Amino acid sequence: MSASLPTLQHIRDAAARIAPYATLTPVLRSDELDAVAGAQLHFKCENLQRGGAFKFRGACNAVWSLSDEEAAHGVVTHSSGNHGNALALAAATRGIPAHVVVPEGAVRAKLEAIERAGAILHRCAPTIAAREAKAAQVQQATGAIMVHPYADARVMAGQGTLVLELLHQCASLDALVTPIGGGGLSAGCAIAAHGLQPSIAIYGAEPAGAADTAQSLARGARIDSFTPDTMCDGLRAFVGEPNLQALREHGVSVITVSDEETVAAMRQLWQALKIVVEVSSATVFAAVLKQRERFAGKRVGLVLTGGNVDLDALPW
């Protein structure tokens, strides 16, 4: 089922599968930010998830979906960011090997975190083609199972589990906003949200400098050549094919925001919510502020995706 789309039942199964390992993250509120936005904002804090990002949910679901025979050979992915780290942490919960293909030039602190989590690193040239070739090679040599960062139904189902929690924590929502990178989070969340409450309007926040999803939806076909130009390092991936299909089916509207708007929103989140969120996460609040009229007076869920930040290089 790895390239198709998950159902609400898959997401419920995922929630049961990851419950022993994942954190039930809190939902924060702020009178101050509600006043700024003119809406009732419910912030789902995945920066407080294990590994500092929602990615642990999908990786953990993928790892624990495997049969014992499959799992014995371990898992492999290509990611220099939060997904690589999440897969390493998830594999450790099952005591199986994790192979992570990382491009030359990736951020050292992130690579160290992935190694600390117990993964075996495989270096390659910094191109998509080189990453995929290296991952395929590792897969052949070890028998490890590929866990794609987003174009994978097990991963999407895992990400969607946060919506089951969120709707339990705040009862009902008029709208839900997630960042969009590869689309694993937004697809999983859209399927979960509409499975439980078909009336929820689903929005994606995308950096103006990596707005391939907005353009793909507008032209009705997936764009796959594009040079992203944004500080939001977590949102530079092209949207996946099954992900785009899910976004289309669920009528997801994309709001694009500039990096300047996102950095201002990030600072407001730190100041008012007293939490550390990475720049990619702040796109959702920037999007709500940018299109205030769409959200005015509504109950809005916002997914704060991660908190892995270099504290010596804050963007303000």
**Of 12, 109, 30, 6, nearest to 269 (Cα)?**
30
Coil, helix or strand at residue 129: helix
- Token output for 28: 């924060």
Segment interacting with its own copies (CB under 8 A) among 42-50, 148-156, 178-186, 242-250: 42-50
In what helix (H) or strand (E) does residue 71 lie, and over which residues does it extend?
Answer: helix 68-72
Rule CB under 8 A: choose which of 96, 277, 289, 303 binds its own copies: 277
**Least Cβ distance, residue 139 to its own copies (angstroms):** 29
Nearer to its own copies, 124 or 232 (CB): 232
Q: How far is CA 127 from CA 8, 79, 131, 225, 280, in A?
A: 35, 12, 6, 13, 22
Segment interacting with its own copies (CB under 8 A) among 6-14, 28-36, 167-175, 252-260: 28-36
Per DSSP, which regions of 3-109 are E strands?
A: 27-28, 40-45, 75-78, 98-103
**Least Cβ distance, residue 52 to its own copies (angstroms):** 6
**Least Cβ distance, residue 273 to its own copies (angstroms):** 8
Coil, helix or strand at residue 281: helix
Radius of gyration of the CA atoms of the chain, in A: 18
User: What pairs with residue 120 in β-bridges?
Assistant: 99
- 230 near its own copies, judged by CB under 8 A: no
Rule CB under 8 A: choose which of 130, 170, 208, 275 binds its own copies: 275
- 314 near its own copies, judged by CB under 8 A: yes
Q: State how far the Cα of 193 lies from the Cα of 207, in Å rounded to an integer.
A: 23
Residues 149-168 that bind its own copies (CB under 8 A): none
Specify the pairing of strand 175-179 against strand 145-146: unpaired
- 107 near its own copies, judged by CB under 8 A: no
Q: State how far the Cα of 61 lies from the Cα of 20, in Å rounded to an integer.
A: 11
Residues 6+ apart with CB under 8 A from 276: 47, 270, 307, 309
Nearer to its own copies, 27 or 136 (CB): 27
**Least Cβ distance, residue 261 to its own copies (angstroms):** 18
- 276 near its own copies, judged by CB under 8 A: yes
- 60 near its own copies, judged by CB under 8 A: no
Segment interacting with its own copies (CB under 8 A) among 165-173, 189-197, 210-218, 305-313: 305-313
Segment interacting with its own copies (CB under 8 A) among 123-131, 247-255, 282-290, 308-316: 308-316
- 271 near its own copies, judged by CB under 8 A: yes
Rule CB under 8 A: choose which of 270, 294, 299, 315 binds its own copies: 270
Nearer to its own copies, 30 or 197 (CB): 30
- 118 near its own copies, judged by CB under 8 A: no
55-65 vs 82-94: helix crossing angle, rounded to 10: 40
| Terminal-residue alpha carbon distance, the chain | 43
Dmax (CA) for the chain in angstroms is: 56
Q: Residue 107: how many CB atoms within 10 A of its CB?
A: 14
Task: Decide if 55 contacts 101 (C-beta within 8 A).
Answer: no
Residues 250-269 that bind its own copies (CB under 8 A): 267
Nearer to its own copies, 21 or 203 (CB): 21
Rule CB under 8 A: choose which of 48, 153, 200, 289 binds its own copies: 48
Nearer to its own copies, 95 or 316 (CB): 316
Binding site for its own copies (CB under 8 A): 23, 26, 28-29, 31, 47-48, 50, 52, 267, 270-271, 273-277, 307-308, 311-312, 314, 316
